[in-house]
Structure 1
Amino acid sequence: MPMAAEEIEALIKAGIPDATVEITDLAGDGDHYAARVVSESFRGQTRVKQQQRVYEALGGRMGGVLHALQLKTALPE
């Protein structure tokens, strides 16, 4: 069962409360998304750690309910 973009956004914001999240459905199938997550809390963390935090916020749904997520993390400008 595919995930809605709104559900992905809500999970990320629950795990990273100060995040600004943009979700794009890449294939129109609810399985392949791109996410841009911007958070001040990423400051001082490697890109790998930032992405791990996003995956942790998704609570193990990657590879299961959520098939593919193209992820970009950033600090606020």
Structure 2
Amino acid sequence: MAMDAREIEAMIKTAIPDAVVSIRDLAGDGDHYAAEVVSESFRGKSRVEQHQLVYRALQGKMGGALHALALQTSAPK
């Protein structure tokens, strides 16, 4: 079952309340998305640690309901 972009955004914002999230459906199939997530909580963390925070927010849906997520993360400038 595919995920809706709004559901992905809501899950990320629930886990990372200050996050500014932008989601794009790459293939129109609800399985392949690109996400940009900006949060102060990423400051001082490695890219891997930032991505882990986002994947944790998705509560195990990566690889299941959500097939692919091209992820860009950063702290605010």
Q: 2:40 corresponds to which letter in structure 1?
A: E
Aligned residue in 2 for 1:74: 74
Which stretches of structure 1, 4 residues or more, deviate above 4 A after TM superposition?
Answer: none
Cα shift readout 1:8-60 (whole Å, capped 9, x = no counterpart): 00000001111000000000000000000000111111010000000000000
Deviation at 1:73, TM superposition (A): 0.1
Counterpart secondary structure, 2:70: strand
Percent of pairs identical after alignment? 69
Q: 1:28 corresponds to which letter in structure 2?
A: G
Aligned residue in 1 for 2:17: 17
Counterpart secondary structure, 1:24: strand
In structure 1, stretches of 5+ residues that fail to align are none
For 1:25 and 1:31, locate their aligned partners in 2 and report how far apart those are by CA, in whole Å. 8
Q: What is the alpha-carbon root mean square deviation over aligned residues?
A: 0.4
- Size of the aligned set, in residue pairs, is 77
Structure 1 length normalisation: TM-score?
Answer: 0.98
Aligned residue in 1 for 2:8: 8
Structure 2 length normalisation: TM-score?
Answer: 0.98
Counterpart secondary structure, 1:18: coil
Q: How does 1:8-47 map to 2 (within 5 A)?
A: 8-47=8-47
For 2:69 and 2:44, locate their aligned partners in 1 and report how far apart those are by CA, in whole Å. 24
In structure 2, stretches of 5+ residues that fail to align are none
